[in-house]
Each structure stands twice: as C-alpha cells, then as structure tokens.
C-alpha cells in the first residue's frame, strides 16, 4: 500500500472513530442527565427541616459512621488474620482433602477437595460427580461454593457427589500452567476412580477456570463428561463494537498498556512472583463508582443490616493470591493478548497441540449480556473460530449449548443466589440428559412455570437448534472486522516483550530480592486499605467499644426522613458523576486503541479474517462430501441413526421433558439399541443427519442397503413397532409428517426380494 492510500485509509479510520466517539459521549451525557433527573425527582419541596430534625439526623449519621468504620476494621482484622494463615478457601461447606498437588512429581499449589454434604442432604455415590474449578485471577478459590445457594449447593441438593479444585496462596517454585493442567487431569482420574459405576464427571469452570476446564478436556477427552463454562473468556479479542455505550473496555487494556511486558515487569519486581492484587485492581478500575463509592455508601446507608453481607464478600474479594512469572506470562502472551487457545497455538505438557475439536463431551456456555469483563462474544466466538460450519459440529458428534442471561454482571454469574436457583439448578437438571441431544448447536431457554409446594419458583427448560452461521451473525454485527487491529496489538506486544527481556529485565532482576518484593506487596494500595484499618492501627482501639455502645443505644432514622432522602440524592449524584467519568474514559480508551492499531495494522484486504470460515456453500464443503460419499456404507447402527433423524420433529423447540422421555425409552429398549459410547453415537447420528439434509431421497432409497442382514432389518422394524405401541410415545401425538415418513420407511424395509450386499465402510472409518 503506497503512502497516499495509507493516508486515505487513516482518514477513513479517523472519521469513523470520531463518529463512534461522539455517539459514545452522547449516550454518556444522556445517561448522566437521566440519573441526575431521577435523583432530584424525589425532592418534594417540603418545609425545611427544623432544629430537632437536624439533631436527630446528626445522631443517626454519627452512629452509622461508627458502625461503618467498625465494619471496615473487622474487614481489616480478618485480612490480617487470614494473611498470616496463608488464606483459606471461602467455601461455605465442609470438605476433606483427596489429593494435594504439592506432593506431585511436578508440584503445583492445587488440591482436590471432596465436599461433605450438609445435614439433611443425601448424596448418591452412583450419580455423576461434579468437579468445580474456580478462577485464579487474583482472588482465592471457593466462590463456586460461596453460600448455600451456589453451584455446589444446587449439585448437592440434586444428589450428586461434588468435588472442588482449590489452590493455595503461594505457587510452588517453577510450576507452570501446563503443570497445573496435568495436575487437574490427575484430579479427574481420581474422581473417576472413586466413582467407577458413575458417568464421567461433569466439569464446571468459572471465568478463567472455564478455559482451564476446556484445556483439560482437550488434552484428556476420554475421562471428562459434560463441560459447563460460566463467564469464561475463550476469544479474548471478541466484544461488541456498536453505536451505543462502550461496554467491553477490558479487551482494549492489553493494547493500551503496550502488551504483556508490564506483567513481566511486575513479576520481576516481585522477584519472580506476580501479585494477584494487580489483577484485582484492574477489576476495580472497571467500575470506579462501585469501587470508590457505591459499595461503601451502601454499607454506611444500611449500617444496621449490611455489615454481614459486606464482610462475607470482602473475605473473598480481599484475599490476594500469587502466581509465578512463568504462569502470568503464559496467560498474557497466549490468552489475554495472543488469543491463541482456539488457534492451535497452545501445546500441552507432552508437546501436543490443544485442539478444542478433540473434546468429545457436550459443552454448555453460560454468559450474560450485562457482563463487561467476559461479554458473550468472548464466550461464544471461539465456536465459529474452531468449527468451520454447522455440518462440521455435527460430523464430529459435538453438542454445544448456549445459555444467555439478559443483565447480570460478571460476578453475579457465580455469586448470585437467584442465578444459582434458576440457571445453575437447571443446568444440573440438563446434564442428566444432555448427552442424548443430537449433535449440533443449541440455545437453552429457561421459563418460569409457577411455584412449587415450598413456594419456590418452578422452571421449564427447552432447547432450540441453531446454525453456527446464524449465531455468529447475531453476535457480530460488523463481521468482526473490529478484531483485526488486535492482531497488530499482539505483534506490538511481542516486540515490546522482546525489547523488555533484552534491555530491561537483566537490570530489574538484578535489583529485585525477596525483602523488596514482600515490601511492594505489603504496600499495594488494596492491601493498605485493609491493614491500615485493623488491629495493627493503635489509634483505632476505641472503635470496637464505641460500636458496641452504639448498637445498644441505636437511634435510627427511617429511610423516608427528608434529610436521609437528601443524603441519598447526594450519594446518587456522586455515583452518577463517577459513572460519567468511566464512560468518558472508556470511550477515549476505545478511540485511542483503534486510532493506534487500526492505522499501523495491515489493511483489511490484506489481513486474514479472525473467523476461518470458508466462503463456499456448505453443500460443497469437505465434511458434506465425505458424508455423502458414505451414503451406502454402514449397517444397523447407521440405519438406526438415519431413521432417528428422518422421524425427528422439525422446527420445534425440544423441551427437557422430551429428552427425559427419550432417556427412559433408551433404557427400556436397550436390547434393540447398539452398545456404544454417547459420543460415538452422536458422531454417527451427525453424519447421517448431514446425509439426510443434503440428499433426502437418496438417504431413503439407500436405507435398505444398510440392512442387508435380515436379522438387523427385523430388529429395527420390531423396535419401530414397539415404540409405536408405547403409550408414552402415543401421548406425544406424532405429527402427520412423522406418520407419513414412518409409513415410507416401513414400506422400504418390508420383506422383499434379495438385495445386493451392502457396501461396508473402510476399517479406518468404522473405527
């Protein structure tokens, strides 16, 4: 590209950025105006408060202030106490140690716990065990079992054994992420060993624990059952780039900081240890209104009732864990900036490429539209990157289910009791039968259906099949052209990383030592705000007795008091101002990112699209051609799979109740069904579906050639007869299309003259 063309392109980029930035600012201004108007809409213009009101308010405000600072001191005391003990998981449930990774040949600071069911909860050891992996993103483990209404709680109440992967504060010397992956493989094998009569364990991965679970399943697909990844960033470059608010600022952070070198610098200053408080600080910076004001004012405003909930959450949020330099560099270079997991750029400990297509178990992707840390595009786009088409998903026998929440934030996906009772509880119910879903891409919908006898809401679950192309288009309005500058950011990051390693790292490592590293960690602002307001501060010795006196002599004002309402309006105004600052900052960060990297990157015409989908029609793809080439190959299994698709209801949602009925029928008519693994059955089922979709008449005509053996033909016809006579099937009211198709199949398979021998599939294909 010559200079003139590059200059013209730069002008186009600049004009588009100005347009989008102006719209961002307009949205920010409108939101700020609405919040200010809402805050002052409650001012009723009543008579000014008299002296008595002011005295009562002053007493109430002073008492709340003492209770507020006493709560912060309790937070600091807990922090100091837990720090000296190395921090512990915040699990609400009792547990016992099963395996400790610190004693492995390649030691890691991970361990496997078995959750002890609480009193009144019975667990069946023969049911599918659950293995929950929490994120290691600066905080400690346990958020998946933070309270009774949690992932652990709903699985226990459903009667499943539950295991939990925890990690300790300090990493083992020299441990890497690949060592951690190998240790988690041992955990899965141990769980299978403890439950030999159960189905393969289900993996639940939260946030970064999600990609850890996917790496584990890709490197050891034979031992893992269904995988649920909640708010897990798999495609780090993904996110919305619309004309509204800038909702995904975190994806620009790596580029605006120059790439991964800052993480290396922080680890080198820590003498080879990266402080997780830096990651927590990044999370807090995403929402300054909440971090600096809202959560503290809420504690002050509700000083009589809020402290317990505040302290429970801060016990997890304020526990800062550590990583080795090798771990944080692997994460930043391969995932955060490099985005290499789905590209085949990541290898396991044995040197094998981690191919996500090797995963054989069903996958459930749970994301939220209100999540600005892991937006739905980051949770779902990897599917379009790994699989070229819907047909490839089916041919590989894969089931992928997407569940989308409308508004809950990132942490709410894991800690919200409402989400646990609804989404996570229904996910548990789905995993009982999800392996019986035909291969494909599904959307999962949960709708309220009333209340149970205990007053708890009841829900119905149904699945609706989608095409990969449809989902990709729905999530990515601009065909992901906004991801191209991230490739330039990754290249600049590699350049900066090498420059740092060559010119700066030797000097930094020469200056770093354990005492200075510990001092830097101790004086990190997030730690200071904890220990500075604790028992270590002698000036606060009076606070606990004063707070006790306040509780005994509390004189609270009602929330409707005019002065209390004026206070709340002022608090809302300050919160709105901080939100406005965030909106301006994020809009500037977005404009700055694209202004830099969209100009230094290669032109769109020269840059490969991040989504490696072919432009050719699906019918001419290699997957479809290979399936059609085998239309006359096979036997009873292929014939059964073909008939199953031909008799399938079309264009209707698939309720969970129908899946459960299918499971019952499979158990009752097992003698007529092939004995094979669910994945092998789904793979054959997917191949036969491709055949039937692209050559429906030939699929019917060649069906008898798959059943040359008369015993197989009688076996299939007998199965159809028994199903037709089954009252449960009759209650489902087969459609007219199903009845007509059944008649055609029976006519084709009716006893007739001898037919030529069926062509058998090659040995390699049959395997």
Nearest by Cα to 340 from 478, 204, 490, 213: 490
pLDDT of amino acid 234: 87
Residues 574, 575, 581, CA angle at the centre, nearest 5°?
90
Residue recorded with tokens 């037709």:
724
Mean pLDDT is lowest, of 367-381, 455-469, 599-613, 702-716, for 599-613
pLDDT of amino acid 415: 82
pLDDT band at 47 (very low <50, low <70, confident <90, very high): low
The segment(s) of the chain belonging to CATH 3.40.50.1820 are 95-254+342-479
Buried b (16+ CB within 10 A) or exposed e, 402-414: bbbbeebbbbbbb
Query: 642 to each of 515, 617, 630, 700, 713, how far by Cα in Å?
Result: 69, 23, 12, 9, 14
pLDDT of amino acid 723: 87
Interval 164-216: pLDDT, tens: 999 999 999 999 999 999 999 999 999 999 999 999 999 999 998 998 999 99
Name the CATH architecture for the domain at 95-254+342-479: 3-Layer(aba) Sandwich (3.40)
pLDDT of amino acid 245: 46
Collect all residues with Cβ–Cβ distance below 8 Å to 652 and sequence separation of at least 6. Answer: none
pLDDT of amino acid 639: 93
pLDDT of amino acid 175: 94
Q: pTM here?
A: 0.90
**Cβ-based neighbour number of residue 502 at 10 Å:** 9
Q: Is residue 576 scored above 50 in pLDDT?
A: yes
pLDDT of amino acid 690: 94
Which has more pLDDT, 471 or 132?
132
Q: Is residue 766 scored above 90 in pLDDT?
A: no
pLDDT of amino acid 107: 96
Integer Cα distance of 244 and 372 in angstroms: 14
Q: Which residues pair with 205 in a beta bridge?
A: 133, 229
Query: 401 to each of 359, 361, 368, 463, how far by Cα in Å?
Result: 14, 11, 14, 8
pLDDT of amino acid 78: 95
Q: Which helix (H) or strand (E) holds 279?
A: helix 277-286
Average pLDDT score over the chain: 88
Interval 480-521: pLDDT, tens: 788 889 999 999 999 999 999 999 999 999 999 999 999 999
Interval 76-117: pLDDT, tens: 999 999 998 888 899 999 999 999 999 999 999 999 999 999
Residues 80, 85, 88, CA angle at the centre, nearest 5°?
100
Interval 422-466: pLDDT, tens: 888 899 988 878 888 999 999 999 988 877 767 778 889 999 999
Nearest by Cα to 624 from 392, 438, 439: 392
pLDDT of amino acid 242: 55
Q: Is residue 263 scored above 50 in pLDDT?
A: yes
**Cβ-based neighbour number of residue 761 at 10 Å:** 15
Which has more pLDDT, 536 or 661?
536
Q: Is residue 765 scored above 50 in pLDDT?
A: no
pLDDT of amino acid 151: 92
| Contact (CB, 8 A) for 455 and 375 | no
Average pLDDT over residues 289-300: 96
Mean pLDDT is lowest, of 349-363, 433-447, 542-556, for 349-363
Interval 689-709: pLDDT, tens: 999 999 999 999 999 999 988
- Say which DSSP state 410 is in: T
Collect all residues with Cβ–Cβ distance below 8 Å to 298 and sequence separation of at least 6. Answer: 306
Collect all residues with Cβ–Cβ distance below 8 Å to 596 and sequence separation of at least 6. Answer: 255
pLDDT band at 604 (very low <50, low <70, confident <90, very high): low
Q: Which helix (H) or strand (E) holds 462?
A: strand 457-466
């Amino acid at each position: 590209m010559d200079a003139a063309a590059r200059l013209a392109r730069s002008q186009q980029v600049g004009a588009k950025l100005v347009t989008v930035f102006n719209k961002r600012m307009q949205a920010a201004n409108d939101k700020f105006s609405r919040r200010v108007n809402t805050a002052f809409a409650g001012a009723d213009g009543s008579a000014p408060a008299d002296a008595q009101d002011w005295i009562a308010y002053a007493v109430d405000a002073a008492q709340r202030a003492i209770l507020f600072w006493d709560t912060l001191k309790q937070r600091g005391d807990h922090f100091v106490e837990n720090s000296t003990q190395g921090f512990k998981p915040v699990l609400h449930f009792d547990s016992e140690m099963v395996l400790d990774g610190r004693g492995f040949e390649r030691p890691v600071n991970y361990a496997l716990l078995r959750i002890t069911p609480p009193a009144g909860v019975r667990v069946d050891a023969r049911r599918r065990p659950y293995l929950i992996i929490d994120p290691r993103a600066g905080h400690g483990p346990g958020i998946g079992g933070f309270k009774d209404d949690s992932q652990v709680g709903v699985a226990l109440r459903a009667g499943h054994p539950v295991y939990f992967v925890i990690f300790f504060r300090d990493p083992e010397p020299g441990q890497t992420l690949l060592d951690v992956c190998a240790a988690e493989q041992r955990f899965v094998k141990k769980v299978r060993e403890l439950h030999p009569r159960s189905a393969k364990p289900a993996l639940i991965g939260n946030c970064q624990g999600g990609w850890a679970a996917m790496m584990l399943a890709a490197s050891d697909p034979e031992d893992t059952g269904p995988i649920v990844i909640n708010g897990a960033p798999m495609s780090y470059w993904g996110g919305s780039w619309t004309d509204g608010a800038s909702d995904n600022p975190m994806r620009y952070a790596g580029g605006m900081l120059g790439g991964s070198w800052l993480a290396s610098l922080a680890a080198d200053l820590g003498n080879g240890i990266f402080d997780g408080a830096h990651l927590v600080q990044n999370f807090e910076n995403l929402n300054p209104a909440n971090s600096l004001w809202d959560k503290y004012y809420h504690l002050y405003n509700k000083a009589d009732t809020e402290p317990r909930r505040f302290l429970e959450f801060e016990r997890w949020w304020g526990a800062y864990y550590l990583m080795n330099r090798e771990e944080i560099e692997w994460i930043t270079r391969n995932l955060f900036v490099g985005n290499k997991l789905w590209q085949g750029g990541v290898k396991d400990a044995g040197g094998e490429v981690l191919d996500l297509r090797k995963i054989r178990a069903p996958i459930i992707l749970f994301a939220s539209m209100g999540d600005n840390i892991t937006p739905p595009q980051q949770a779902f786009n990897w599917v379009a990157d790994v699989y070229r088409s819907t047909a490839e998903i089916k041919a590989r026998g894969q089931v992928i289910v997407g569940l989308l929440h409308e508004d809950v934030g990132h942490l709410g996906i894991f800690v919200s009791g409402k989400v646990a009772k609804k989404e996570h509880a229904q996910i548990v119910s789905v995993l009982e039968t999800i392996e019986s879903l035909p291969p494909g891409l599904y959307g999962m919908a949960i709708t309220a259906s009333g209340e149970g006898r205990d007053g708890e809401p009841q829900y119905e679950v149904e699945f609706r099949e989608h095409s990969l192309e449809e989902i990709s288009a729905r999530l990515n309005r601009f065909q992901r052209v906004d991801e191209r500058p991230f490739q330039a950011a990754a290249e600049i990051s590699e350049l900066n990383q090498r420059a740092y390693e060559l010119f700066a790292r030797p000097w930094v490592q020469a200056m770093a030592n354990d005492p200075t590293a510990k001092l830097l960690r101790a004086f990190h602002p997030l730690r200071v705000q904890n220990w500075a307001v604790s028992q270590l501060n002698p000036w606060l010795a009076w606070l606990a007795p004063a707070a006790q006196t306040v509780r005994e002599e509390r004189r609270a004002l009602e929330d409707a008091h005019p002065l209390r309402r004026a206070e709340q309006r002022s608090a809302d105004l300050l919160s709105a101002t901080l939100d406005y600052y965030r909106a301006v900052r994020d809009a500037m960060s977005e404009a700055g990112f694209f202004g830099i990297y969209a100009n230094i990157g290669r032109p769109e015409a020269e840059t490969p699209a991040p989504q490696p989908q072919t432009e050719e029609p699906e019918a001419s793809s290699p997957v479809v051609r290979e399936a059609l080439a085998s239309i006359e190959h096979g036997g009873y299994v292929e014939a059964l799979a073909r008939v199953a698709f031909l008799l399938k209801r079309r264009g209707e949602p698939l309720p969970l109740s129908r899946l459960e009925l299918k499971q019952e029928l499979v158990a009752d008519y097992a003698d007529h069904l092939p004995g094979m693994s669910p994945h092998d059955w789904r793979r054959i089922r997917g191949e036969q579906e491709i055949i039937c979709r692209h050559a429906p008449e030939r699929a019917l005509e060649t069906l008898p050639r798959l059943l040359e053996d008369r015993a197989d033909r009688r076996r299939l016809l007998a199965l159809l007869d028994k199903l037709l006579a089954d009252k449960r099937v009759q209650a489902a009211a087969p459609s007219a299309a199903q009845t007509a198709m059944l008649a055609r199949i029976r006519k084709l398979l009716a006893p007739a003259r001898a037919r030529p021998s069926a062509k058998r599939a090659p040995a390699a294909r049959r395997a």
